[in-house]
Structure 1
Amino acid sequence: MNSERRYGTRILGVGDNDDSENEDPVVEIEKPNTTSDKPQSEDQSGRSPFQRDLDRIKYTKEFRRLKDVTQVARAGESYLYHDRLSHSLKVAQVGRRFAEYVIQQEEGTHTISRELDPDMIEAACMAHDLGHPPFGHLAESTLDKLLQEKTNPYRKENDLDPTLGELPENLDATDADNIDAYLQVNSDELAGIRFEGNAQSLRILTRLATHRDAYTGLALTVGVLLGVGKYPYGRGEWFNPDAHKSLDPWPDEPKSVEGFSKGKFGFYEDDENINKAVRYAAVEGDESISGRAAAAGIMDYADDLTYAIHDLTDFYMDGRLPLDRLLREAFAELDEKDQEGLEEADYEQAPRRELEELHRELEYDEEITTPTEVITSLATSAIITGENVSLLNPFDGTPQQRNELEAFTSFLIEYYLNRIYYDDESDHELVDTDDAYISLRFGEQECELYLSDRLEEQLSILQQITKYYVIRQPSLIAQQRGQQRVVRETFEALYDEASKDDLSWSAVPTPYRNWLETEHSHVGNLGNDAEKRARVVADFITSMTEPQVVALHKRLTGDNPGSLQNEIIR
């Protein structure tokens, strides 16, 4: 069975449900041709199913939109910064190279070639951030709060009837994550609806985006959809009741299942049938598969690696992150052998100051690694890749410094990509557990990717360095406060517009207006009108770029009505 046989099945989206007794959406599936053992190509150009998926994603407006969506700094502020589009392109490149490297090392291994098809990995990486709303994670959390305010019957902001029973006294109605965990154990349904960027990505790929071959969505293969599934579980399923001696009284700090992230989830409740269909099709009827696919693990690793390194270099170039000083301080930690070939005249020595700050402010397990060890490793890399070590000075944009920065970045990515080891019955031996490595572990039907504790801690520290020097800056925080206000006020205005009795007089445009007027497949199985309105408005906002949502906010609030001929959204 090659990769096309197992993962080439297409999810055609949500079709019409003719069963009046069953309100769940019908997920349409198109299985690949199984009459030949040759790899299947679906068109005259000879493209494989995954190559078609890759091309299909690239040509969507949902992918183009990412050009004007924030990565860290506001999209469009400077060419120095990555936006979501350039970030996604680099994640896709790193993910593909990782898959190609593994396949090259293990040529002919059936499981690897099936699970790590480079086209499949690249397509999943390309699509992984489609669900990010304008202004990124800030808007993600804001939309989540707004949806809960409108639809959670326990919230004071609405007049919905809490028919799910009383909450424990120590459980705050605004703590959506813990309410999800409680209701997951004690009720048949959850409180209202929520917003989550990863779940929104699946919703876009299988419901909201359009393609001529699909009922809804892009009609992608299950291999690519599994690769996008960073969190292969639903709301509240992160909670681990077995980790508590008693659930009476309800624990103040509920614990997660090992490997699950508190509060995160990969699909909405009304998309659960889509998630089941993807996993059912992937294993040809066997629903026992648990955990995320190896493709999703590689996508997640490529994502973490890309923004850990590129954010570091982005903000070194703009002067906000003192990488040069950190490297100079780290040289004091190197022995003479490591400093061989480096003259003190090449750089100004720096007393240990920034490293001490990082040790105080960052979260890390010192038994695994420390900020000093991570920065010292970067300093060693700078020596390896730079002839005159110009990275030990503030960035001034000289060709030499740009060349050394590119070499430095390339070296780090290659270093972290080539940390792969194998956990099977082959002759490969795992390195010492204190090292930083990636492990591919094989089962009968799948393989999974694991990161060593040291590798995870290194990437976490690199990401936290950017957060410490950049994300906590007052200028960025002030920008975010304004962006949060834009999202909240736009949502409130559109929600009111979506509540009108006659939607022909609503500011909500088509097709979103149509979804509210009929039992549309996009929202037909939501619980009540409040949930439908909230989900449609969230979908609408998520479809916009940052300039679009700012322009619409100004129009709705009267700050700047703009031109009648400018519809903003088409």
Structure 2
Amino acid sequence: MSEGTFGTARRHDARKKKAYRDEYQRDRDRVLYSSAFRRLAGVAQVAAVNEQLVLHNRLTHSLKVAQMSRRLVQHLRYKSSEAGFPDGSGLNEDVVETAGLVHDIGHPPFGHIAEEVLDQRLAQVSGLEGFEGNAQSFRVVTKLARRKEEHMGLNLTRATLNAVLKYPRLKPRDSAKSTALWTDRGHGEKWGAYQTELTDFDWARKSSLGELRSANAILMDWADDISYATHDLEDYFRAGLIPLHHLEVDKERIFEHGHRRLKKLKGFNEYRFQEQIDVIVKEFGRSLESQFWETRENRVRMNKITSRHLTRFVKAVRLLDEPPYVEVDQDSQYRVAALKELTWFYVIDRPPLAIHQEGQKRIIGSLFDRLFTCLAKSPTSPKIPIQLRTIYRDIKRDDEAKGTFEKNKEARCARAVTDYICLLTEAQAVDLGKRLEGRSQSSMFGTWFN
């Protein structure tokens, strides 16, 4: 796919309009204006979004992933100078930025812990593959978000949809995993689209090579890792949870924890990982004076460290003359893994968050079960929120998915409930759950749903 040719095609609109925006810029605006994107302000990145501390939520995280994605392409454009990008790479700043905005748009309230619950529920339904956040994001922009009555989705260009497909394959029937090395950014182990979006998937992947990611998708994925490794780390240093000024005491435990978690990755080298752990322990220890983020000195020094990391990770990408057209320096990938491990060690795999997540699992599980029961019993009941009824109706109207849902009411109800939950904020999910369980002290007045 080359920039500016068939990559600008849209499935539902072949008209060429002369305007101040090109087709890729239209994609970006369509995502930014969608309610599905706005609701990410109410979804956690790691911890709950209602904390008094100013932490990243999925919206601010997505904005930074989009910005970093754009900078990566700009860096490559600057480095390529007069030579330009390789023919067929399709690299484009607006395309990769839009992919960054979209990459988490389908993730449910409470993030990955809710994904597990939904996957367990859907895996028990005949005809459905389970749940995958990346596949749900693809479903949102191709089916659930609406701009026009005559077709579903945001009607994004082929190039943008291909960039959104971080894992460009359907769920393997044999659950086979990729045999590529973990540092090979051209491949990934997960899957990125449901069978119900097969037509959109095939259209987006036209002229792509097998399960190889597009160059834009690779850069978006790398930008996601960069943001996780830098901005999330700042959050939890500010919150007093990660003692960046004094990592030395936990250095060996950090390494062992990371090694247990990452050793399953094909080609993972524990010595290179240990080397990067040592580097960042020394870097933070030399630079930060104390655990208190709010001292002027620490703020300045932390900003300098983050800036150095961002600069290094941007420069870590290089152009290739053949697919997938870009690669990422391996040392930088190990550095990012080491930085991400600090959040895993001090925040994610700790009782305060783990106990909180246990409650979140119950919220999502109970919400799914109650909505499913109501919908299966009577899809037109006033007990069903109007938006959920609309999603259920539109599934029946989706000609491309008839093979999955036409004679399978259970699958249709389960998919509709899942789609609905994935369009809620965390506060909405909690409130609706309480109302369905009879534990809410709120009245019928001022409700957010209808």
Partner Cα separation in structure 2 for residue 442 and residue 367 of structure 1:
31
Provide runs of 4+ in structure 1 moved above 6 Å. Answer: none
Alignment of 1:271 onto 2:197: yes
Deviations 1:178-236 (A, max 9, x none): xxxxxxxxxxxxx6331110000110000000113861100111111111111001112
User: 1:487: which partner in 2?
Assistant: 364
Alignment of 1:292 onto 2:216: no
Q: Do 1:267 and 1:275's aligned partners in 2 also have CA atoms closer than 8 Å?
A: yes
Residue type at the aligned position of 2:404: L
Deviations 1:400-434 (A, max 9, x none): 3212211211111111111233xxxxxxxxxxxxx
List runs of 5+ in structure 2 lacking aligned partners: 182-186
**Higher relative contact order at CA 8 Å, sep ≥6: structure 1 or structure 2?**
2
- Closer/same/farther in 2, CA of residues 374 and 31 from structure 1, 3 Å limit: farther
Partner Cα separation in structure 1 for residue 10 and residue 162 of structure 2:
12
Partner Cα separation in structure 2 for residue 366 and residue 471 of structure 1:
23
Cα deviation for residue 382 of structure 1 reads 7.6
Partner Cα separation in structure 2 for residue 132 and residue 311 of structure 1:
18
Deviations 1:241-267 (A, max 9, x none): xxxxxxxxxxxxxx64326554x2110
Partner Cα separation in structure 1 for residue 430 and residue 333 of structure 2:
37
- Closer/same/farther in 2, CA of residues 504 and 380 from structure 1, 3 Å limit: closer
SS in structure 1 of the partner of residue 48 of structure 2? coil
The residue correspondences of 1:270-349 to structure 2 (distance < 5 A) are 270-280=196-206, 283=207, 289-326=210-247, 329=248
List runs of 5+ in structure 1 lacking aligned partners: 13-29, 34-41, 153-190, 241-254, 330-352, 384-388, 422-439
Aligned match of 1:554 in 421, 434, 439? 434
Partner Cα separation in structure 2 for residue 354 and residue 484 of structure 1:
30
Cα deviation for residue 546 of structure 1 reads 0.4
The residue correspondences of 1:186-201 to structure 2 (distance < 5 A) are 192-201=128-137
Deviations 1:297-347 (A, max 9, x none): 000000011111112221111111111102xx3xxxxxxxxxxxxxxxxxx
SS in structure 1 of the partner of residue 229 of structure 2? helix
Moved more, 358-367 or 409-418: 358-367
SS in structure 1 of the partner of residue 430 of structure 2? helix
- Closer/same/farther in 2, CA of residues 451 and 104 from structure 1, 3 Å limit: closer
User: 2:337: which partner in 1?
Assistant: 460
Cα deviation for residue 113 of structure 1 reads 9.3
User: 2:96: which partner in 1?
Assistant: 121
Partner Cα separation in structure 1 for residue 285 and residue 81 of structure 2:
33
Alignment of 1:369 onto 2:272: yes
Cα deviation for residue 514 of structure 1 reads 3.8
Q: Do 1:222 and 1:278's aligned partners in 2 also have CA atoms closer than 8 Å?
A: yes
The residue correspondences of 1:119-518 to structure 2 (distance < 5 A) are 119-149=94-124, 151-152=125-126, 192-212=128-148, 215-236=151-172, 239-240=175-176, 256-258=178-180, 261-262=188-189, 264-280=190-206, 283=207, 289-326=210-247, 329=248, 353-363=249-259, 365-366=268-269, 368-371=271-274, 373-377=276-280, 379-380=282-283, 389=287, 391-421=288-318, 440-443=319-322, 446-500=323-377, 502-517=378-393
Partner Cα separation in structure 2 for residue 442 and residue 382 of structure 1:
41
Cα deviation for residue 449 of structure 1 reads 2.9
Alignment of 1:63 onto 2:42: no
Partner Cα separation in structure 1 for residue 284 and residue 315 of structure 2:
15
Cα deviation for residue 521 of structure 1 reads 1.2
Q: Do 1:232 and 1:266's aligned partners in 2 also have CA atoms closer than 8 Å?
A: yes
Q: Percent identity?
A: 31
User: 1:350: which partner in 2?
Assistant: none
Q: Calculate the TM-score normalised by the size of structure 2.
A: 0.89
Partner Cα separation in structure 1 for residue 173 and residue 221 of structure 2:
20
Cα deviation for residue 148 of structure 1 reads 1.7
Cα deviation for residue 394 of structure 1 reads 1.1
Cα deviation for residue 563 of structure 1 reads 2.5
The structure with more radius of gyration: 1
- Closer/same/farther in 2, CA of residues 208 and 237 from structure 1, 3 Å limit: same
SS in structure 1 of the partner of residue 155 of structure 2? coil
SS in structure 2 of the partner of residue 463 of structure 1? helix
Cα deviation for residue 451 of structure 1 reads 3.2
Cα deviation for residue 112 of structure 1 reads 6.9
Q: Do 2:213 and 2:324's aligned partners in 1 also have CA atoms closer than 8 Å?
A: no
Alignment of 1:86 onto 2:60: yes
- Closer/same/farther in 2, CA of residues 295 and 235 from structure 1, 3 Å limit: same
Which structure shows the higher helix fraction? 2
Partner Cα separation in structure 1 for residue 393 and residue 210 of structure 2:
39
